Amino acid sequence: MVISVQGIFKRAKEIAMLISAAERIVVVSHIDADGITAASIAAKALERLGKEYRVDFVKQLDEQKIEELRDENPPLVWFTDLGSGMVHKMYGINAVVTDHHVPSSLDVIVPPRARKNLSIFFEELSKSRVLQLNPHLFNRDGATDISGAGVTYLVARELGKDNVDLSALAIVGAIGDMQDSENLRLIGTNRVILKEGKQHGFIDYFIDARFFGRETRPIFKMLQYSTDPVLPTITGDDKAAIKFLKSLGIPLKRERWRRWIDLDMDEKRLILSELTRLILRSGYGSVIAKRLIGEVYILPKEEQGTPLHDAKEFATLLNACGRYGDALIGLRVCMGDRDSFYRRAMNMLNRHRRNLVDGLTFVKEIGIVKREYLQYFHAGSKINENIVGIVASMVLSEEGFNELPIIAFANSDDGKIKVSVRSPRTLVNKGLDFSIIMREASERVGGTGGGHNIAAGATIPRGKEDEFLDIVEEMIKNKLNKTKKL
Ligand SMILES: [Mn+2]
């Protein structure tokens, strides 16, 4: 069944009308690349309207934050890239939500004291108004169809025609959430945004190698750090990467280190065909080999050779800002700063790269525990809670670790335990949904959780890790066995 995007556009228009009518707006957003681009799109659109606004970044939208907003009582709260999971708690707040996470309920807001009394219920309901734009409400998949930045962009373009330049940030947000990962290209509503951005010259896309660092890294480094796909014998080994390139007669240097974009077509073809052969010979299969090539996304208005020119690198830069506690720096870069905030963002990116390498090394030292239906590691305080999910993704992409869902624990700075889960695509296709598993399992040990089917997270009390693992494993087992019988 093909569902038209008209419903989504209509809802975007309704939300834009509520925003236009509000005299002051508080934007609340998530600290990852998608959340930062979403907040930047909202902020830029509000700035252009001359609205009074503020941006609050949160790691997670919890009841305490909602309580604070209820006390502050601004004319309108605009939740971007989060909020849909908490709509049922938003009574007493005037809010709009542009999010793509799985909604907790469909626009029904019931204050606890009103649950038993119908007249109070209607009174409370009339006081608050929450309108959401979320692909799930339109039978679309929030993991691939559109990101938080994307749905926010759909509202921004209703707020002003000149906001079409923000389509570039909407694509950066989608790439930050890896919405191109499954199909090796953006699909659905993302594609509508992509075409609009290209038509106006703010975004470009073409087929090329999907490597991270096509524009910024020496070729051997780019290969050494490739994790999607993992290059057998080369990933993680700089000497092997250099040897591989030399064996193909590819010069590594010409005045400066050559990058992927410096190679000519024949050189690129030679490298890709040899890598394909290497992957197939190592028994990884053609599905993995196909991941070498796909659509890449460029921001033509940015300077070539900087992380801002390539959507994947731009997203990584923003993730680095968010993870080290300064999403606002990323926001300033998105909104146009190329001076002191840009320099600070670059410093965070470099720190981030070092931390990821150290994190992966640490996990290999302590080892990954394999159980029947899952594998896990506990990083304690050795890996920052904000990057433990990426480290989990890196482990999951390695040979020997790519068949079971991986659960990563890290100590959180508020005395709790941060949980990240990443699942192989094959299990999601069999019906596993970790947004549900994380929510239910965490609630059973007194925590909270949610996210996407393939990548989700939770916060649980310290000391509950073993109990939590047992519950998650039981849920996976039940789901997979049930699917098998059907
Ligand atoms: Mn998102």
Q: Give residue 393's pLDDT.
A: 85
Task: State pLDDT tens for residues 456-484.
Answer: 999 999 999 999 999 999 999 999 988 66
pTM (2 d.p.): 0.81
Q: What does the radius of gyration of the chain's CA atoms come to, in whole angstroms?
A: 23
- Of 292 and 390, the structure prediction assigns the larger pLDDT to 292
**Please, which pLDDT band fits residue 1 given cuts at 50, 70 and 90?**
very low
Query: How far is the centre of ligand 1, averaged over its atoms, from the C-alpha of 439 (Å)?
Result: 17
410 vs 284, more confident: 410
Question: How confident is residue 34, by pLDDT bands cut at 50, 70 and 90?
Answer: very high
Position 120 pLDDT exceeds 80? no
pLDDT of residue 145: 96
Please report the pLDDT score of residue 2 as a whole number. 46
| Cα-to-centroid distance, 149 and ligand 1 (Å) | 7
Q: What angle do CA 93, 98, 102 make, to 5 degrees?
A: 95
- Centre of ligand 1 from the C-alpha of residue 224, in Å: 28
Residues of the chain with CATH 3.90.1640.30: 6-199
Query: Within a 13 Å sphere around the CA of 12, how many CA atoms are in the beta-carbon half?
Result: 23
Average the pLDDT over 280-302 and give the result. 90
Architecture of domain 367-485: Roll (3.10)
Per-residue model confidence (pLDDT) at position 119: 60
Q: How much is the pLDDT for 124?
A: 53
Q: Percent of the chain scored above 70 by pLDDT?
A: 93
**Which pLDDT does position 116 carry in this prediction?**
60
- The average confidence (pLDDT) of the chain is 91
Sequence ranges of the chain with CATH classification 3.10.310.40: 367-485
Nearest 10 degrees: Cα torsion 327, 332, 338, 342: -20
Strand partners, 208: 294
Q: If you measure from the C-alpha of residue 35 to the centroid of ligand 1, how many angstroms do you get, rounded to a whole number? A: 6
Burial (0-12, 13-18, 19+ Cβ within 10 Å), 248: exposed
pLDDT digits (tens, 9 = 90+) for 47-103: 999 999 999 999 889 999 999 999 999 999 999 999 998 887 888 899 999 999 988
Using N-to-C axis directions, what is the helix angle for 148-159 and 33-49, rounded to 10°? 10
176 has a pLDDT exceeding 50:
yes
How close is the Cα of 143 to the center of ligand 1, in Å? 8
Fold of 6-199: inorganic pyrophosphatase (n-terminal core) (3.90.1640)
What is the DSSP secondary-structure string of 102-157? PPSSSS----GGGSS-HHHHHHHHHH-EEEEE-GGGGT--TTTT--HHHHHHHHHH
Ligand 1 centroid to 115 CA: how many Å?
32
